[in-house]
Structure 1
């Protein structure tokens, strides 16, 4: 790795974001507005006038991006296993009761209402088998990698609204509000850059998997720039994972509510609560671009987060501090942070998932990169046998900050050891019916 230079940047996938620095990266009071490109700056002006298809073609042209896409395609082509700590699945972590409950009827009703708004070609495009590989085709860049399902901005207003009504029927009210705010911030970014054909509130792909039913497994997927939500119901249990939510800007000076301010504040409270001995274990790297990081630890697209798009089978060893070393107050705060990561789940489903998380609290690890007092950008990962939750500050893509800042945030949520996309529940549901 080399030191950052002012000219060392490659569009959305900046080489600057992987260059380590020996000095501290301090957060300032600068607004994201200080980093808005001039309207005619070539960094953004060259894309003006393109539709999303032409933009995708242009973004994929550089050889660096071609190599990146090839690496992602290779990961996508792998058979699904699930994220593990050492390459071996831990069995029996997600028990599905033999006496299952019905799936939420409101979701089923909303799904059929959505389907009724589509014509025959659209219905054919939106429907996939329950275990179709397209589940794993989601991504978070603003340019198209895989075309899966239907694109909301190409649907009629009634059809797009019906798709979002299904999302609303599936999530908690607060969870739906968060997803919609992330989509709205994507539209806001399009307005800031005058690139609304590429980034708007409806530049997202939507699919159904399986047949909507109160008795059979089925689900849906919504993905695009800074939003990817995978939702499946199996025997009355609901999985919403993987989830990717982010924003640039995540803080918008009153134009929009801050998307992750509460979670960030909770994380900093936890970091500030560490004793010196705890901090020495929890803080894996002293900054988010620490020269002590091994080669490749910071990815040009993902930066530090490890559970993003196409990472379904990643081996992620535990690092940091085990929660067994926390006191009761720290454990309560940790549970509050995890509960916020699970906000998209309806209350009953979130409570069931939190019970599962609680059962493995003693085998939960917290890793932190950067200062723990909020003075620097930071990376946080909470990891156990049944959850991976990440929060990472990023450098600019459509804003000009070349170092990570609080106003560009990525978050991920996974259910490791094979239950992303509800796969562990689905396997049990099928086995129970074949007994």
Structure 2
């Protein structure tokens, strides 16, 4: 790779992450610690002592970032449609059925949170159910849109009430995963000497609609490497879009690994593919395959297609259909899907899995990279009622210039219009 192919774009992103290469990207034999910057390095030192507002202002200044933000703003300004495979929402994918009461524990927790806030913060956290701000979430460490209130600026009582809302809404395992993503963000702040910018409370939280067992409502929490959008509609709970990432995701026992179990299932499934199946499933031989179209790699998103501001993206199906997999392989596929849906409480996860099962034959597995776990890889499972991705990334706060397993981004979407529970909300309103 030449110096021109490996130049900085804005001080954080390098051109190497979007430059295809003939040689395969292999996994390092070392650990993330081999890629830590010295604390006085120019990558870190200029940000020390800044608060999030000034840091974010400076991070947004470079022309590269301004162009990126402009493209995201155009996407944000579009009316919501939903992710589709061909440009048109497929009807009938999201039948709500009989409208039932919403779970009451999240309602009580949300009301408790609101009661702990000042009048100004109560006004700042609350939005109408259809507010466009619900789609303003993002996952960088610098702030793009200020939506709601920031945890680190709240009282301890309010912060604990926010955590209680998360806990009341998520499964125990899902709550642990979300809090661990926040903890890993704090760990990254410690590793870089920038805890004022990356900590376990550098997240925005907001509430949409009036918390109620009878009416649709929801809440959102987002910040670096975590975005949760939770809606309660007619007895169904939707948690999508979801973004969970980590750098470092593998922290040598310092923190629990977030994605190890999902990656193990994924490699087991990919390794089980026959030669004929691999021909269908493997879309690109490596994560930086020269066969990729020019626009397939994004400097911020790399390979994942369903992140922030991608609410209306057209994502054609790729890879092998699930009906071409064996019974054992489909069981592994279901296991990966269930892990993506782990945030949902048990009863709601069962309903969500049934939604996926209803369209499982049409659901596709796409794989980029070697199927034996020897390389970084990209995974997408995509059907009419589910889109989940896992992508290994190059470093941002670590110095690896090409993807490694210790920087991971994952996304979850409900295609055909049910992100943010919008398909259900529309039906619930019609049923009244």
Question: TM above 0.5, one fold?
Answer: yes
| Alpha-carbon separation, structure 2, partners of 1:421 and 1:40 | 42
Does the Cα contact within 8 Å between 2:6 and 2:14 map onto a contact in 1?
A: no
After TM superposition, give the deviation of residue 344 of structure 1 in Å: 0.1
Q: Equivalent residues in 2 for 1:29-44 (5 A)?
A: 29-44=29-44
Cross-structure match for 1:73: 73
| Alpha-carbon separation, structure 1, partners of 2:4 and 2:82 | 35
The count of aligned residue pairs is 432
| Alpha-carbon separation, structure 2, partners of 1:2 and 1:209 | 49
After TM superposition, give the deviation of residue 305 of structure 1 in Å: 0.2
| Alpha-carbon separation, structure 1, partners of 2:240 and 2:14 | 28
Cross-structure match for 2:55: 55
Q: Equivalent residues in 2 for 1:52-131 (5 A)?
A: 52-98=52-98, 100-131=99-130
Q: State the secondary structure of the residue aligned to 2:87.
A: coil
Distance 1:227 1:376, change over 3 A: same
Does the Cα contact within 8 Å between 1:3 and 1:21 map onto a contact in 2?
A: no
Does the Cα contact within 8 Å between 2:127 and 2:209 map onto a contact in 1?
A: yes
After TM superposition, give the deviation of residue 232 of structure 1 in Å: 0.4
| Alpha-carbon separation, structure 2, partners of 1:161 and 1:8 | 40
| Alpha-carbon separation, structure 2, partners of 1:365 and 1:130 | 33
Q: State the secondary structure of the residue aligned to 2:47.
A: coil
Q: Do residues 328 (structure 1) and 327 (structure 2) align? A: yes
Structure 2 unaligned segments of length 5 or more: list them: none
Could you state the TM-score of these two structures normalised by the residue count of structure 2? 0.99
After TM superposition, give the deviation of residue 69 of structure 1 in Å: 0.2
| Alpha-carbon separation, structure 2, partners of 1:216 and 1:379 | 39
Q: CA RMSD in A?
A: 1.1
Q: Do residues 165 (structure 1) and 159 (structure 2) align? A: no
Cross-structure match for 1:45: 45
| Alpha-carbon separation, structure 2, partners of 1:419 and 1:134 | 17
After TM superposition, give the deviation of residue 28 of structure 1 in Å: 2.2
After TM superposition, give the deviation of residue 4 of structure 1 in Å: 6.6
Q: Do residues 246 (structure 1) and 245 (structure 2) align? A: yes
Q: Equivalent residues in 2 for 1:158-197 (5 A)?
A: 158-197=157-196
Cross-structure match for 1:282: 281
After TM superposition, give the deviation of residue 6 of structure 1 in Å: 4.4
Q: State the secondary structure of the residue aligned to 1:46.
A: helix
Does the Cα contact within 8 Å between 1:394 and 1:408 map onto a contact in 2?
A: yes
Q: What do the CA deviations read for 1:70-119 (whole angstroms, capped 9, x no partner)?
A: 00000000000000011100011111113x22111111111111111101
| Alpha-carbon separation, structure 2, partners of 1:2 and 1:288 | 19
Distance 1:7 1:306, change over 3 A: closer
Q: Do residues 297 (structure 1) and 327 (structure 2) align? A: no
Structure 1 unaligned segments of length 5 or more: list them: none
Q: State the secondary structure of the residue aligned to 1:108.
A: helix
